[in-house]
Homo-oligomer: A and B are copies of this chain.
């Protein structure tokens, strides 16, 4: 075919000036025509629109940003590149922003102050409209101070500065969901195996665990604190069940601090010939699907709704950038229990 209908990939982008020249008007008129501003004959407006279309004109976002003092760009700062927490969160953020035409700079700072500073300065130089800070631990600060930045900052799943807006998952609420589910199923001796004492969430979840058991008049066993690993799940089973074979004191349910511990617990129980969920129910935390679904039986787990959390954070930043004031403080978003087969069915069901 000699007539090529493709939009002719120009070497250099088409400018408004070229559109104006081609349509035989001034750049001012062209701009107004394309933005629906100003007054002109419908015919002129349409002619300019068609010309722009034909030439494949797209306004230079840099020039617009310079003028509007708004870059339609935000920075996402994280120290959790490899982790699985920041990923769904990032997806949620991006999802909330893409429809507003806002792009996201991803900045992984590890735990390196120098790198963090470098990235923040780069973002500031590029005139990001705002920053979302996130990390792998809800109870730790990023290795950089974002307090006096003259652009809005939102914290998600990481410790906010005072007077800042932060979003977190409601860990205590999530723990309640799990333990109450066990109670509803008629479990009586519910144990809690969780991570190290140095994590704030460990205490928060343990507190909720104790509260729910007390509310139901059930015995409260001291939570077992260890590591966030399968190996610790194994060990914990030994502690819980040794010397109590078939026993009076042995738990009939284990609420675990994460899915890896739960996996270790289930594997250890199977090795001891203890049936899951018939003899002992197990619930995990994080709902890390690749683990929860590979567990035998598939693991019931608390999902922190991180993607929704990211969305909320993105929308909050957008509103802050738009000039809406926001009360500082931490907003907790509810968790959700994903029921699979490791916790058993209700007696009547």
A-side interface residues toward B, CB under 8 Å?
Answer: 6, 9-13, 58-63, 65-66, 71-73, 76, 81-82, 84, 87-88, 90-91, 94, 98, 101, 103-108, 115, 118-119, 121-127, 148-150, 229-231, 260, 263-264, 267, 290, 294
Residues in chain B near residue A104, CB distance under 8 A: 105-107
Q: Pull 20 A–B residue pairs with CB atoms less than 8 Å apart, ordered by A.
A: A9-B149, A10-B150, A13-B127, A13-B150, A58-B125, A60-B66, A60-B125, A66-B66, A72-B126, A73-B126, A82-B88, A90-B106, A94-B107, A103-B105, A103-B126, A104-B107, A105-B106, A230-B294, A231-B294, A263-B294
Say yes or no: A119 contacts B98, CB within 8 Å: yes
With A91-B81, A150-B10: A59-B125 Cβ-Cβ less than 8 Å = yes
CB distance from A192 to the nearest CB of B (A): 21
CB distance from A240 to the nearest CB of B (A): 20
| A245 vs B148: C-alpha distance when bound (angstroms) | 70
Residues in chain B near residue A81, CB distance under 8 A: 87-88, 90-91
Say yes or no: B90 contacts A115, CB within 8 Å: no
CB distance from A207 to the nearest CB of B (A): 28
With A87-B87, A150-B11: A107-B118 Cβ-Cβ less than 8 Å = no
Say yes or no: B108 contacts A94, CB within 8 Å: yes
Say yes or no: B105 contacts A123, CB within 8 Å: no
CB distance from A195 to the nearest CB of B (A): 15
CB distance from A171 to the nearest CB of B (A): 21
| A150 vs B58: C-alpha distance when bound (angstroms) | 14
- With A9-B148, A11-B150 known, 6 other A-B pairs at CB within 8 A are A62-B71, A63-B66, A81-B87, A82-B91, A94-B106, A94-B108
Say yes or no: B87 contacts A82, CB within 8 Å: yes
Residues in chain B near residue A91, CB distance under 8 A: 81-82, 108
Q: Which of B59, B62, B118 contacts A62 (CB 8 A)?
A: B62
Say yes or no: A106 contacts B76, CB within 8 Å: yes
Closest chain B residue, CB of each to CB of A229? B294
Residues in chain B near residue A123, CB distance under 8 A: 103
Closest chain B residue, CB of each to CB of A101? B122
| A76 vs B73: C-alpha distance when bound (angstroms) | 15
Say yes or no: B98 contacts A115, CB within 8 Å: yes
Q: Which of B60, B115, B121 contacts A58 (CB 8 A)?
A: B121
Closest chain B residue, CB of each to CB of A103? B105
CB distance from A104 to the nearest CB of B (A): 5
CB distance from A161 to the nearest CB of B (A): 13
Residues in chain B near residue A71, CB distance under 8 A: 62
In the A-B complex, the 3 residue pairs with the smallest Cβ-Cβ separation, listed nearest first, are: A106-B106, A61-B125, A9-B148
| A299 vs B125: C-alpha distance when bound (angstroms) | 45
Say yes or no: A107 contacts B103, CB within 8 Å: yes
Closest chain B residue, CB of each to CB of A115? B98
| A103 vs B84: C-alpha distance when bound (angstroms) | 22
Residues in chain B near residue A9, CB distance under 8 A: 148-150
| A155 vs B219: C-alpha distance when bound (angstroms) | 58
CB distance from A174 to the nearest CB of B (A): 20
CB distance from A95 to the nearest CB of B (A): 8
